[in-house]
Structure 1
Amino acid sequence: MAQPCPDSPVASIYLWFNAGSADEEPQEQGLAHFLEHMLFKGTTRRG
């Protein structure tokens, strides 16, 4: 689903994953948290 907004200089994207402490196996503990930090680190200009 997309909604154009020609007056906005930014874009956003939403992603949903079945991940997190409720979905991780014992050997995967912390993997979702690690991926969260990798995805949301941002750049020098954004976030």
Structure 2
Amino acid sequence: MKSNPDVVDPHWCLYKVTAREVEFWQGDVDRKHIRLLYRMEKNKWVKELLWP
């Protein structure tokens, strides 16, 4: 609220997303795409090349 910036709007909502794996895909005009998978194992991110 403008008069008191420390007060949270009652309609405000927070979402938390906890990822266990994330895949990144990088396209290439010559179709030499790159796919990477990061997954959480024992509290560390492990990177895996899916393609090529």
Q: TM-score, normalised by structure 2?
A: 0.23
Larger radius of gyration: 2
**TM-score scaled by length of structure 1:** 0.24
* Larger relative contact order (Cα-Cα within 8 Å, sequence gap ≥ 6): 2
Which structure features the higher share of helix residues? Answer: 1
Q: Larger strand proportion, structure 1 or 2?
A: 2
